[in-house]
Amino acid sequence: MGTPSTPWVTCPNPAPSAVKRLFCLPYAGGGASVYRSWGKSLGSSIEVCPIQLPGREARLFEPSFDDITPLIEATLKHLTPYLDKPYAFYGHSMGALLAFELTRAIERKPNLLRPERIFLGAHRAAHLPRHRKPMHELSHQEFLAVLRDYGGFVDEIINNDEMMELLLPAIRADFKLCDTYRFEDRGQVSCPIHLLAGALDNKTTVESIQAWQQHSAATVDLEIIDGGHFFLNTHAPIVLGHISKKLKL
């Protein structure tokens, strides 16, 4: 692939001879660095390309999207040049919703290569209602309290007022995107869906993740990992082993 020509698509470990690409989408408030080590773990046959959304890390001072429709349109515009070989998506939490909607957008465009499969982790099926109260309108202290409860942010960051002042606009925008998402039934996706759930996740139940099975016309399987909501961080070798096995089918 060479050096990315867009800030949207990163590639920490370029693999020009790779036979497949894995595009990774972050959880709310997360950036491309979440997936920085994945390329080395998956080997040279799979080129890992984390998506860097505006408002975080190297794009910190760009405005974040708080509506999923324009975000999907913008992401697909910049992603299209990289859809020139077999590929898959991995999305975690909010990223799972983005991966699903990206797949639906791609399948509506007959000239684009469709993903071989998608991996969806730690997010309830798109058609299910949200049970928690909206987060993006919470007060500053309430919002921080909920973020601490979710986990995923190290203490050095979430307890640093100056750092959080920089990060919170993007995090709030992400939660607004999730809070205001409304599922529209446009039929099933054509590719297999591989589901990943945390057995100890107190935010997303295994049953709500299993409900994704109605959204694929192909196969759907579920891997339950002995971790919480952010099992991709705490149990990365298990997650990567599962992804590698499926990508090499």
Return d(Cα 221, Cα 212) in angstroms, integer: 10
Helices (H), 13-160: 38-42, 68-79, 94-107, 140-150, 155-158
Catalytic residue, from 5, 33, 45, 93: name it.
Answer: 93
Active site residue 208: no
Element (H, E) at 195: strand 193-198
Say which residue the tokens 């046959």 belong to.
45
Element (H, E) at 47: strand 46-50
Return d(Cα 20, Cα 248) in angstroms, integer: 9
Residue 235 in contact with residue 227, Cβ under 8 Å? yes
Give 120's strand partners. Answer: 91, 195
Q: Which amino acid is at 77?
A: K
* Residues involved in catalysis: 93
